[in-house]
Amino acid sequence: MSELIHFFKPIQLENLIDNELQPGTLGSIISKYIEENEFPELDADIAIIGVNEDRQAEKNAGTANAPDEVRKFLYKLHTGYFEPKIIDLGNIQKGFEVDDTYFALAKTVETLIKKNIVPIIIGGSQDLTYAQFRGYENLEQTINMVTVDAEFDLGDPETMNTNSSFLGKIILHQPNYLFNYSNIGYQTYLVSPSSINMMNKLYFDCYRLGNIRDNIQEAEPIIRHADMLSFDFSSIKHSDAPAQQIPQPNGFYSEEACQMMRYAGMNDKISSVGLYEINPEFDERGKTAHLAAQMIWCFMDGFYNRKKDYPTRTSPDYTRFHVFLQDNRYEINFYKSNKSDRWWMEVPYPSHEKLKFERHALIPCSYRDYEIACKDEIPDRWWQTYQKLQ
């Protein structure tokens, strides 16, 4: 039996469903932790994890009750055209101290990733992103993190970790294994100019709400570059996701949130996803919980429709494009997948006498980046990565 059982409380199934689960629904297929000492075998593609923790939720206490509210709708959804192999491990309970909860979540994330199982975390407040991040600490790899958030949540990293300061904690964490951070959907009037300047100095990628909403497909290469995703529900319009103590009048529409989760599912390298800041106390007839369930479904749909089309230089499944810029000062190689029409571009590592062979980093991009390069302009995505590698 897995050592993780000590962190979890079984699901009270009778509190989640009114009638017997219909055949073909997720609730009838998912292997669930519902009986004491009968923990599911860690043999799955995806694991659902609830976390009943909100003690560090500034101005949004009550998010600890979200996991079971989301399950009420998730279990009723049909599987569609995919055959899921999913387990639901139940809920991580509040530890004696908040750090105890963080430890339990980090250990769970680490264990599942090592077994090639993708955890979908249902919070709880967004400070749990820090524990999600800590799950990578012993994996000996640098990671890319993406948050969908109206703010940066930098806070004061010298103080206690909260849902408004977790990112500052992550940036300063030692050892430092964060290679890149991307924010999708920040709203300028909610973010200080100094925070934006700091993000630029760190060569992090930050995308305004309006820019992404103009073309939601531009979120796909950002998410495709992620190892972990943290989704703050306050980034969604209050009319579509009212379960917030301090609702936002502007934000993403529910369809856009589902689309981004499908992009995450299709990302071959993503290894954990967290949904945070759902407060059932302010929900309207379960609208937000229902949306969260559909977002999880969209992730699963993307996951089971992965193309596995990461390009190689010799594969015939890609079309390669060479673009020379600024009087041949820069050369960018683009790759377009013939399977999915997705794009990548090469960014060179700095030249070094100890490097026997020339090396390149291959990063996701969009057709728009190729169009920009054809106009003799360096795409921002390429330039920021280039600066990081120097």
Nearest to 222 by CA among 148, 115, 281, 131: 148
DSSP string, 186-214: E-GGGS-HHHHHHHHHTT-EEEEHHHHHH
C-alpha torsion sign, points 239, 162, 225, 301? negative
Are residue 192 and residue 282 in the same domain, yes or no? yes
For 172, half-sphere exposure in the C-beta direction (CA atoms, 13 angstrom radius) is: 12
Q: Along the 390 residues of the chain, how does pLDDT read in single tens digits?
A: 578 999 999 999 888 887 778 889 999 999 999 998 899 999 999 999 999 999 998 888 899 999 999 999 999 999 988 889 999 999 999 999 999 999 999 999 999 999 999 999 999 999 999 999 999 999 989 999 999 999 998 877 667 778 788 999 999 999 999 999 999 999 999 999 999 999 999 889 999 999 999 999 999 999 999 999 999 999 999 999 999 988 889 999 999 999 999 999 999 999 999 999 999 999 999 999 999 999 999 999 999 999 888 877 677 889 999 999 988 888 999 999 998 999 999 998 776 544 444 467 899 999 999 999 999 999 999 998 988 887
Burial of 102 (0-12, 13-18, 19+ CB in 10 A): buried
Q: Could you tell me the pTM of the whole model? A: 0.94
Same structural domain, 322 and 241: no
Residue 31, number of CB atoms within 10 A of its CB: 15
- Where is the domain boundary, 254, 276, 303? 303
**Pairing, β 330-337 against β 228-232:** unpaired
Do 293 and 356 share a domain, yes or no? no
Place of tokens 């799950």: 135
Q: How many CB atoms lie within 10 A of CB 142?
A: 12
Count of the separate structural domains present in the chain: 2
Token output for 107: 């250990």
- Main-chain phi, psi angles of 247, to 5 degrees: -75, 155
Residue 310 included in any domain: no
Q: Could you tell me if residue 238 is inside a domain?
A: yes
CATH of the domain at 178: 3.40.800.10
- Residues 209 and 13: their CA atoms lie apart, in Å, by 38
Distance, in Å, from the CA atom of 182 to the CA atom of 299, rounded to the nearest integer, reads 19
DSSP string, 63-119: GGGHHHHHHHHHTTSB-TT----EEEEEEEPP-SSHHHHHHHHHHHHHHHHHTT-EE
Amino acid identity of 112?
L
Identify whether residues 293 and 353 lie together within a single domain. Answer: no
CB of 117 closer than 8 Å to CB of 88? no
Residues in the chain: 390
Residues 327 and 297 in one domain: no
- Are both 229 and 180 inside the same structural domain? yes
Q: Write out the residue range of the structural domain in which residue 364 sits.
A: 318-389
Pair (84, 150) in one structural domain: yes
